[in-house]
Structure 1
Amino acid sequence: MKARGTWQGMLTVFRFNWPLYLAAGVVLLAALAGIFLLSMPWLKLSCAAMAAGAAYFIFVSLGVSHLVYDRSDLYRWNWFQRALPGMRPQRIVVCHSGFDEVSEALKEQLVPGDCVVLDHYDPALLTEPSIHKARRLFPPTPGTLDAPFDRWPVEAGSADAIFGLLAIHEFRSVEERARWFAEARRCLKPGGRIVIAEHLRDPANFLAFGPGFLHFHSAANWRRCWEMAGLRAADEFPVTPWIRFFVIVAP
C-alpha cells in the first residue's frame, strides 16, 4: 500500500470543502481591504473582526486537520492494541459512506483471512456536499459491496471485528445510526468488537471547526444509538483532542 503523504489528510479536507475555504478567503481579502480603505473607525473595527474570524477558520481548521489526519496515531494504527486487545480477527467488515480511506490499510495491518468492504453511500440519504465530492473523486475500491446502512450482505454472526471509521456520522438521525448498530450486532461473532472513530460535537471541535462542529454528534448521542441496538461500550479513548474511538460489544 502506498504510504500516506505528509500533508495528505489536510489537503483532502481542503479538496472536499474548497468552496467554504474560497468563501472564507474572499471574506478575508475584502475585510483587509476595508481596514485600509474605510475611514470610519467602527467600520474598520468590523472589518478587523471579520478578517480575524475568516483567518481563524482557515488556518485553525486546516491546522487541526493536519494534526488529526497527518500527524496523529489515527493512521499509524497503534490504537489496534487497545481497541482489539489480544485479538487476531479472521474476518473483518469495513463500512464507509462513500469515501474509503482505510480498508486497504486495515487489511495490511490486521492480515485477516477475509475482509468485507461495505459502501453505504446513498445520494438520496446523505446530504453533505463534501461526501458527494469525495465519491466523485474517489470511486469504491475493487470488490467493495454496495450495502444499505441497515441491510448488509453479510452472514449473521460471522465478523470478528467491524469498523466504521469517520463514516457513520453521515447518517443524521439517531434512528438511522441505531439501525446501523443493530445490523452490526447481527453480523458480529460472540466476543467480537465494533470499532468506530468520530469527531464529537464538543468544545474542542467547536474551537477547531466553528459551526461545522454541528455536523458531528455528541458522545451521549452516540451512546444512545448503540444502546438502542442492545449494545454497550467496552472502551473509549481519544486520539488527539478532536477524535474519539468507541469500542462496542454485545452484552
Structure 2
Amino acid sequence: MEISRRKFQGVLNILSFNRHFYVFGLIALVLIIGSKYIFNWNNNLFWLVICGFIYGLTMPLIVSAYVYDFSGFYHFDWLKKINLDDSKQNLNLNINAGFDETSYIIKNVLPKSELQVYDFYNAKQHTEPAIIRARKVSLVYPNTEQIKSNIIPLSDNSVNNIFLLSAIHEIRKQDEKIQFLKECRRVCKPNGNVIMVEHLRDLPNFFAFTIGFTHFFSKTTWVKAFKEAGFTSINETKFTPFMSIFESK
C-alpha cells in the first residue's frame, strides 16, 4: 500500500496535536497586547516580549515544515542508505506509541521481510495531550498488536531489525526506557539492529521549539539508556540539524 502525504501534513499534524499550546499562546499574546493600553510598558521590553511570543509560536511550524514536509524524511532514502538485508526469512518490528505514519513505508522499502507492528501506548503512563490526539487519526497497520513497554511477546534472538521512529520519547521515565530497550536487545538477533529516530534536547532543537525542546531527551540520556540495556555499538547520524538517527547493536 502506497501512502501519499498531503502538502504540509507535518505542520498540520503539529497544529492539530498541539493545539492547546497554540490556543494558550495566542490568548497570552492578545492579553499582552491589550495590557499595553492599561500599563505603562517600557516600549523596548514590550516589543521584545511580543517578538518572543511570535517566535515561539511560529518557529516550531517552520522547522516542522522543513523536517517533515521538505527534507524528504518520509521518502526514507536515509533508511535505504543503511542497506539492510531484505529477505523472506527476516522479521522486522516497527514499535510506536499509537501514532503510525511509517509502517507502510517500511514495508515498501523492505517488501520481502515480514513486518510486525506493536503499539506500547499506555493511557495511565503516557499522558501527553498530543499523543492522545494523534492516536485518534493514526493509520493502523494490519495485525498491529498492543503491548506493554516492558514485554515484547517474541522469543530471544528472533528479530532482524527494530524501528523506533519518533516514538519512545513518549516513555518519560528512564527506568522504563531502559527496560524497553532491554526487551529490544533480547529479541534482536546477534547481528540485529535497533534503528531509532528522535529529536534531541540540544541547542538546534531549543532554537526550533524553545521550551518545547524539553519534551525530548538529550543524546547523553539516550546513550546511557542503550548502554544500560546492553547495547555495545551506538552510532548517531544527523538527518537535518534537528533529528538524529541512532543505529544500535
TM more than 0.5? yes
With the length of structure 2 as denominator, give the TM-score of the two structures: 0.92
CA distance in structure 1 between the partners assigned to 2:174 and 2:235 by the alignment: 21
Q: Which amino acid aligns with 1:85?
A: N
* Matched AA of 1:47: F
Distance 1:38 1:75, change over 3 A: same
Q: Distance in 1 between matches of 2:74 and 2:155?
A: 29
Does the aligned pair in 2 maintain the 1:93–1:116 contact within 8 Å?
Answer: yes
Partner residue in 1 for 2:85 = 87
- Give the alignment of 1:121-200 within 5 angstroms: 121-138=121-138, 140-200=140-200
SS at match of 1:154: coil
Question: How much identity, in percent, do the aligned residues show?
Answer: 30
- Mapping for residues 103-114 of structure 1, pairs under 5 Å: 103-114=103-114
**CA RMSD of the aligned region, Å?**
1.8
Report if aligned partners of 1:119, 1:140 keep a CA contact under 8 Å in 2: no
- Note the 1:1-251 alignment, pairs <5 A: 1-35=2-36, 37-38=37-38, 40-42=40-42, 44-82=43-81, 84-85=82-83, 87-88=85-86, 90-138=90-138, 140-249=140-249
Aligned residues: 246
Amino acid at match of 1:248: S
Residue 86 of structure 1 and its aligned partner are, at CA, apart by: 5.1
Contact 1:57 1:209 in 2 (8 A): yes
Alpha-carbon distance, 1:139 to partner: 6.2
Displacement, 1:199? 0.6
Query: In structure 2, the residue corresponding to 1:235 is in which secondary structure?
Result: strand
- Any gaps of 5 or more consecutive residues in structure 2? none
Q: Deviations over 1:162-188 (max 9, x none)?
A: 000000111112211111111111111
Deviations, residues 79-110 of structure 1 (Å, cap 9, x unaligned): 1244x335226211000011111111111111
Provide structure 1 residue ranges, at least 5 long, that are not aligned to the other structure: none
Contact kept in structure 1, 2:94 and 2:163, CA below 8 Å:
yes
